[in-house]
Structure 1
């Protein structure tokens, strides 16, 4: 199989989970909206996604940055990602927007997809692992993004259509990264480190505070399960 088709295949997997997460959210709220366990499951999903994102950060994104970048550029990229995501998050809050989950998903999905295409050309195993991480983290993020859209008065069909269209951003980003960044490992590492700074900020600003529930341990266990899946994926391909 030509390398570009392989990249499109894995990028399609990482992206289509954006749509699948929305579909799961649609059926979940349709069937269990009045169930007393609904809130616990919702917080579990948020924590599970946070665990996977943290695994991607710790096992792929940051190690690649440390491997390729000198200390100065490493600090600069990570700090830039942190500050820019902070600025965008602050602007979103000030505007009163209720699309926070959707925007957070796109903020880490786009740079990760670019990095996926660039990495795949030179390190297929790491590219495969990153594709799996992106796909798994998009699932719970889009699960909650669907709820954002419904809360903003979108009809279910329109909300799912938006998520379906956004799922193709993974292919666009990966193909762009493959053709423009495959011979620029330091630029790719910079993008990954930049994304890491933003993702870490979002974990502690938006994800972790929304996980805790009194008198239940399910959400915290979800975070550990998500990180464990990341560890397993890393071990299987090395």
Structure 2
């Protein structure tokens, strides 16, 4: 499909690398580049873009402020924050302002492709490492407004084993790693995932992570007791 993507980043090398990758993923893509928010906004006003990759730190505008301005002028525009900073509190704010995702610049090629696929199909993308853990300033026993500490299986309507597996998923662990941690078979992990998915009304892991994030559900450290 034809895709028009606006990349707003003040680092030339970063823009060139991402633009090259985008053209490999989507042969028909047209990439518009801007080194400042002002330049990016001008392009957004002139071109019909499907997606904006917006750097969090720009010389002329804080990325979150830029996001708010873009969403105010273009409410239906798909904007994804693209940053070297991995901060859950910042991600919360970006989602609140209308971002469709948050991609860390150190993400793998596979995860980057998944992120683009998700947001262009109308889904929200978040890396697993940003979901399920409270912001550093929040005590799990004294959560800030909007956060829901999951302190027991019953609080989420799960069995103890499902709750334990969900904790590991929230930390970004794969089925294989979870199986190793719990000394069970990988297929057993998959079997437990089905009722977890049903409980949250999702069909895949990324959707589950987004749901946890959106509902503000946070966990203590896996294996620390329930």
TM-score (normalised: structure 2): 0.21
RCO higher in 1 or 2 (8 Å CA, sep ≥ 6)?
Answer: 1
Greater per-residue helix proportion: 1
Greater gyration radius:
2
Larger strand share, 1 or 2: 2
Relative to the length of structure 1, the TM-score reads 0.20
